Amino acid sequence: MNLFDEATLHKLEQLTLVAARVRVGVMKGDRRSSKRGTSIEFADYRNYVKGDDLRRLDWNVYARLERSFIKLLEEEEDLAVHLLLDASASMHWPDNDPPTHKLTYALRLTGALGHIALTAGDLLSVTLLGNNNRSWGPFRGAQNSLRLLQFLETITAVGPTDLNLSLRNYALYGRRPGLLFVVSDLLSPGGYQEGVAALQARGYEVALLHLLSPDEVNPPLGGDLKLVDVETAADAEITLDPTTLAQYRERLGDWLAEIAAYCAARQVHYIPITTDLPWEKLVMQTLRVKGVLK
Amino acid sequence: MAFLTPLFLLLGLLAAPIILMYMLRLRRREVLVSSTLLWQKLLRDREANAPWQKLRRNLLLILQLLILAALVLALARPFLPVPSVVSGSVVLLLDGSASMLATDVPPDRFTAAKEEAARLIGDLGGDYQMTLILVGQTPRVLLAASGDKTELRRALAAAEAETAVADWPAAFALAAGAAQGFRDARIVIISDGGLPPELPPLPARPIYLPIGRSGENLALAALATRNTETAVQLFASVANYGMVERQALLSISLDGVLYDARRLRIPAQGSASTTWELTPPAGVPLGVIEAHLSELQEDHLSLDNRAWVVHEGGVSNRVLLITAGNLFLEQVYGVLPGVTAFKAPPGTAVDEEFDLYVLDGAPLPDPLPAASLLIINPPVPELAASAAGDLFAVTGVFSNTVAVRLADSPLLEYVDWFGRINIRQAKNVSAPWAQALVQAEGGPLILFGERGGQRIVIMTFDLRDSDLPLQIAFPILMANITEWLNPGRAFASSAALLPGEPVRLRPTTGATVVAVQKPNGDLWRALVAEDELIFNETIALGVYNVLLREGSGDRAAGSFAVNLFSPDESAIAPQTAVRVGQMVVETAVAGDIGQRELWPWLAALALIILVVEWWVHHRGAQPPRIRKQR
């Protein structure tokens, strides 16, 4: 599986991930932190209070004004980027239409975001939800891009996932909070809300990249059917007629609206994606419009 | 309810394969989807109308079984026993005579009779047949021995009543023949009862269904003319067939112009008559006389309120006898129909136009009139005027007058000449344009011919020198000659023609086409191939004009009138019983059991359910698309 060509990679290098609420970095990174810090970039002055480090008193100002000011400097930090990829069996869909295959699409998206993060010097870790929770990283540096791609190419979508459980576990055992992408179809019977809440509680800035294939939006089905779930093997007997299909589309719309409302209320980036949208366009345009990339 | 063909019910077993096929069909196809999460949501939402869903799952099956049940039931031909006046096969005699056009039963009796007949058709049992006979002037079999109710109804709908008198004996003969083909036959007579007495017995049980409520009717029973010495007398008789004395206004029109009107009082079950003396201008034919009854209080039959008569067939020729006095001629021309004779002594200056000049031993007028000429005993040449010079020449007399040859001509029709007529002497007349009608040894006795379109007959002897006027042949010969010289009406008919009665048309020689203009203006035409033609399209009441085509132009050849002078038809009082053979047939009551079949309803029901099923099917499901299964 060849996820990217050279030209695409090059284009990706121009991009940077944006974290609205930036995180404390362990290492000096090349992005501004909201914390005032020790770099050489001047930020502001404030009055000296007892206990302030005298090393940061601006003596020049004191000499001129005889008042003690503390010089505040920008702190530059690196960003922890977490990519959580749903690799449950439901992502292996549609199995007969590679261009809109959800897992392939998700891998490309993960690869692109990972490459952008590594190129920007961010700390990247990739974790699979389901499929034994395999993970990659954390790694820093553009030199790891190739390894990332090699890791992604080994991924297959098997087994069930409980999104809530997986996300909660990640929040519990996660390392440095940072910008966290969940790439999933959210088709998990238990839901995803508790997991997202747990991540947010740990200080993660969460972006939900919600993948749906076109035939999930408009099922090309009809007649008396027994629908079998590829992930859970649950079945549903239904007689599909135009009325039922219309009702299905209505339910789907309601569900998407519900997710969007949930995310908006909790400052979660929510990007619904249909896999017939070219992924380059998604990365280059849609994510920039949404403010995830710049 | 019972079935005519119950074996077809076995087709109900077809329900088993339908159910089987449905069960096979309902095995659901398994289709893999990425997740049933959203579908489960949908199913949960639809739990509320689950019963309807279940029903609809089986709705198509139920509908299909219903269609099958309806079709099987229809094939088994169920029927309901209904009380009916008849059972078994039926020969239906539908009275289509003029009295059935009475309007005491709205809209008229014939329509009511057709409704009655339609009811009988509806009650006709499945294994039985019906023969429809319309009893009119000529009874007709509308449909013979058919069990197809649609055909029967169609034939019945096409039937129409005539303005004629029904021929019941002929209808009974037809019915007897039709009934012999049936087992368990009934002969149903739907009529108002105007049946003649002494009808022959029928081979099957007759059933009588009377139509009509009231007998109130005034009718013109007679309208006739005759010549009196001074005028034409018109006689009219009005009959009241009702039970109440009535008054009516009787109007007389001459050629469409009102001439007189009289109020008549007609006693119940009686009649009143009146006469008019009509004095037309001399020589002008009277034309069509129409009598019309109006201001009637209660009169259910309008056909007999109008009558027509044409005096002497509407043709009258003016004949001028130029004679010093000849009793025989004067008498003959006094009685010949269609001829008005005038007399003038020889030498009188004639300033009027006549259709025929009869010159009895008189010199020819100068100039010669352009009309037809009958020259009897032509004057000797020295007495003849110059006009006669190129017409004929008299070369002497001869006494050898035994006839040796008679021409084959209509002029001698019915004339017995040989050995009976004795003539003392005759003049020897030569005329190059004429041929001899009667040739004697000494010369011609009668010459006839056409000269420049003018018809001329010459009798070369003096009537008083022969015993011809004393023979029966004389009036016949004179009538033939006069008719040839001056063709009058071209038909022989009695004064009172009933509708449907044939008229014998006798076109004159030279006529090539006979046409009859019917009262509605239609023309009936026939080429003259024989001496006599029969015209029998006289169903419509009114005046018929006869036209002859001779050479280039058409010539009116008289008129005749067809009137409903029929006491049988005018007496419209419905009868409660009719007499057939020795049997009095009373009004029938619904005593038999008819069969009302239900299959058309069942077939219609099946069709409706089929439409519903189609609709449910198309609304319910798109044709499934096959997906590759993993």
Find the CATH number of the domain harbouring B175.
3.40.50.410
Band the pLDDT of A283: cuts 50, 70, 90: confident
Q: Specify the higher pLDDT residue, A40 or B505.
A: B505
- Restricting to A residues 220-279, those with a Cβ less than 8 Å away from any Cβ of B are 220-232, 234-242, 244, 247-248, 251-252, 255
Residues B27 and B119 in one domain: no
> Quick one: what percent of chain B has pLDDT higher than 90?
8
CB contact under 8 A, B624 and A221: yes
CB contact under 8 A, A239 and B53: yes
- Using the Cβ of B628 and the Cβ atoms of chain A, whether some distance falls under 8 Å is answered with yes
Judged against a pLDDT cut of 50, whether residue B629 lies above it is answered with: no
Judged against a pLDDT cut of 80, whether residue A26 lies above it is answered with: no
Residues A191 and A61 in one domain: no
Tell me what the pLDDT averaged over chain B comes to: 82
- Restricting to A residues 150-179, those with a Cβ less than 8 Å away from any Cβ of B are none
Which of these, B197, B196, B193, B195, lies nearest to B212 by C-alpha position? B193
Residues B394 and B467 in one domain: yes
- Backbone torsions φ then ψ of B226, nearest 5 degrees: -150, 155
Residue B629: inside a domain: no
CB contact under 8 A, B627 and A95: no
CB contact under 8 A, A226 and B29: yes
Judged against a pLDDT cut of 50, whether residue B142 lies above it is answered with: yes
> Quick one: what percent of chain B has pLDDT higher than 70?
88
Judged against a pLDDT cut of 70, whether residue A19 lies above it is answered with: no
Total CB pairs under 8 A between chain A and B: 118
Question: Over the stretch B272-281, which tens digit does the pLDDT of each residue have?
Answer: 999 988 876 6
The CATH number covering residue B268 comes to: 2.60.40.10
Residues A193 and A278 in one domain: yes
What is the C-alpha separation between B403 and B399, in angstroms, rounded? 11
- Backbone torsions φ then ψ of B571, nearest 5 degrees: -80, 90
With beta carbons under 8 A apart, name residues in chain B contacting A228. 30-33, 36
Average pLDDT over residues B80-95: 80
ipTM above 0.90, yes or no: no
pLDDT of res. A125: 92
Smallest CA–CA distance, residue B26 to chain A, in Å, is 7
Band the pLDDT of A38: cuts 50, 70, 90: low
The CATH number covering residue A266 comes to: 3.40.50.410
- Using the Cβ of B419 and the Cβ atoms of chain A, whether some distance falls under 8 Å is answered with no
Contact A166, A129 (CB under 8 A): yes
Band the pLDDT of A37: cuts 50, 70, 90: low
DSSP B519-576: TTS-EEEEE--SS-EEE----S-EEEEEEEEETTEEEEEEEEEE----HHHH--PPPS
Residue B566: inside a domain: no
Q: Which domain holds residue B251?
A: 227-307
Contact B373, B408 (CB under 8 A): no
Three state DSSP letters for B479-497: HHHHHHHCCCCCEECCCCE
Residues A46 and A141 in one domain: no
Residue A25: inside a domain: no
Average pLDDT over residues A240-262: 88
Three state DSSP letters for B345-396: CCCCCCCCCCCEEEEECCCCCCCCCCCEEEEECCCCCCCCCHHHCCCCEEEE
Residue B181: inside a domain: yes
- Using the Cβ of B33 and the Cβ atoms of chain A, whether some distance falls under 8 Å is answered with yes
Residues A95 and A56 in one domain: no
pLDDT of res. B495: 62
- Backbone torsions φ then ψ of B34, nearest 5 degrees: -65, -35
pLDDT of res. A209: 92
Q: Domain ends where: B276, B307, B338? A: B307
- How many domains does chain B fold into? 5
**Residue carrying the six token digits 């105007």:** B194
Residue of B nearest to A190 (CA): B37
Q: Domain ends where: B282, B307, B332? A: B307
With beta carbons under 8 A apart, name residues in chain A contacting B37. 187-189, 229
Question: Over the stretch B413-439, which tens digit does the pLDDT of each residue have?
Answer: 888 887 778 888 888 888 888 888 998
Residue B596: inside a domain: no
Please, which residues bridge with residue B517 across strands? B523, B545
* Most confident region among A200-214, B13-27, B573-587 by mean pLDDT: A200-214
* Residues in chain A, overall count: 294
What is the C-alpha separation between A121 and A119, in angstroms, rounded? 5
Residues A225 and A286 in one domain: yes
Smallest CA–CA distance, residue B21 to chain A, in Å, is 15
C-alpha distances (whole Å) from B98 to each of A35, B116, B163, B303, B563 are: 122, 18, 4, 8, 11
| Residue among B40, B45, B630 whose CB faces A95 most closely | B630
The residues near A91 (Cβ < 8 Å, ≥ 6 apart) are A102, A103, A106, A157, A184, A185, A211
- Using the Cβ of B624 and the Cβ atoms of chain A, whether some distance falls under 8 Å is answered with yes
Residue of B nearest to A214 (CA): B34
Mutation to test the A interface, candidates B22, B35, B40, most A Cβ within 10 Å: B35
Smallest CA–CA distance, residue B51 to chain A, in Å, is 14
DSSP H helical ranges for B105-167 = 109-123, 149-158
Residues A64 and A123 in one domain: no
Judged against a pLDDT cut of 80, whether residue B486 lies above it is answered with: no
| Residue among A232, A235, A255 whose CB faces B38 most closely | A255
Q: Specify the higher pLDDT residue, B545 or A131.
A: B545
Q: Which domain holds residue A102?
A: 6-20+78-290
With beta carbons under 8 A apart, name residues in chain B contacting A226. 28-31
Name the token pair of B219: 């009718």
What is the C-alpha separation between B141 and B155, in angstroms, rounded? 10
- Using the Cβ of B617 and the Cβ atoms of chain A, whether some distance falls under 8 Å is answered with no
Residues A41 and A146 in one domain: no
Question: Over the stretch B213-271, which tens digit does the pLDDT of each residue have?
Answer: 888 888 988 888 877 767 788 899 999 988 889 889 999 988 888 888 999 899 988 98
pLDDT of res. A94: 83
Please, which residues bridge with residue B238 across strands? B220, B272
Residues A94 and A156 in one domain: yes
- How many domains does chain A fold into? 2
CB contact under 8 A, A219 and B40: no
Residues B289 and B428 in one domain: no
Weakest-pLDDT range from A245-249, B313-317, B399-403: B313-317
Residue B99: inside a domain: yes
Judged against a pLDDT cut of 70, whether residue A146 lies above it is answered with: yes
pTM: 0.52
- Restricting to A residues 96-135, those with a Cβ less than 8 Å away from any Cβ of B are 96, 102
pLDDT of res. B608: 94
With beta carbons under 8 A apart, name residues in chain B contacting A232. 35-36
What is the C-alpha separation between B343 and B348, in angstroms, rounded? 10
Please state, as a whole number, how many other Cβ atoms lie within 10 Å of the Cβ of residue A291. 11
